[in-house]
Amino acid sequence: MSGLLLAATQNADAPVYVAQNIAFGIIAAMMIFSAVRVVITDNVVHAAVYLVMVLAGAAAQFILLGAEFIAITQVLIYVGAIVVLFLFGIMLTKAPMSGTEKLSRDNWILGSLTSLVLLALLGYALIDGFGRDKLPADLAPTNTRAVSDSIFSTYLVPFEIISLLLLAALIGAIVIARRD
């Protein structure tokens, strides 16, 4: 968190994009708070709602990065479809609506230690590797046509494989979940 704030305030020798940096800071703080609430809250439905906030914040960051098509896809698929799927999963598994059943393990200290060590390693590697690299000054929105051209020419085969994967996942989910 302090590293983020440090990174957001330290580009003194370049044109400072105050508005973008403030927007980034607010959205990033909201995302981190919501993500922490997702993993520590005692209410499963609250966790799903906080997950919506994280995913919407990620869409906002994509817009800040000039990737408007990814942002729209993020809202459509993640917020629109995946969270609804999660809510159905919560409903069908009759998860407790209040903190009557334990949702977390007792050894949360070990888990937080693991993730903090991982965060320290990642943070060190990132600051060491990309210390002051700046994004291009003119982050114009990417042409959606360029993205689609790339999908349907360079990445045509992976795109077809993704569609096969979705079909297989659809059939597999039906086969696994049906009662017979």
**Does residue 116 touch another protein according to CB under 8 A?**
yes
Burial of 104 (0-12, 13-18, 19+ CB in 10 A): exposed
- Which listed residue (26, 97, 99, 158) binds another protein by CB under 8 A? 158
Distance CA 71, CA 25 (A): 18
Residue 98 CB, shortest distance to another protein, in Å, is 14
Nearer to another protein, 98 or 174 (CB): 174
Distance CA 88, CA 179 (A): 17
Distance CA 45, CA 66 (A): 32
**Does residue 79 touch another protein according to CB under 8 A?**
no
CA–centroid distance for 138 within its chain:
24
- Which listed residue (88, 97, 99, 160) binds another protein by CB under 8 A? 88
- As given in the structure block, the two tokens for residue 147 are 């993205």
Distance CA 58, CA 77 (A): 13
- Which listed residue (26, 114, 157, 160) binds another protein by CB under 8 A? 114
Binding to another protein by CB under 8 A, coded x per residue (else -) over 37-76, reads -xx----x--xx--x--xx--x--xx-xxxx-xx--xx--
- Which listed residue (20, 30, 53, 79) binds another protein by CB under 8 A? 20
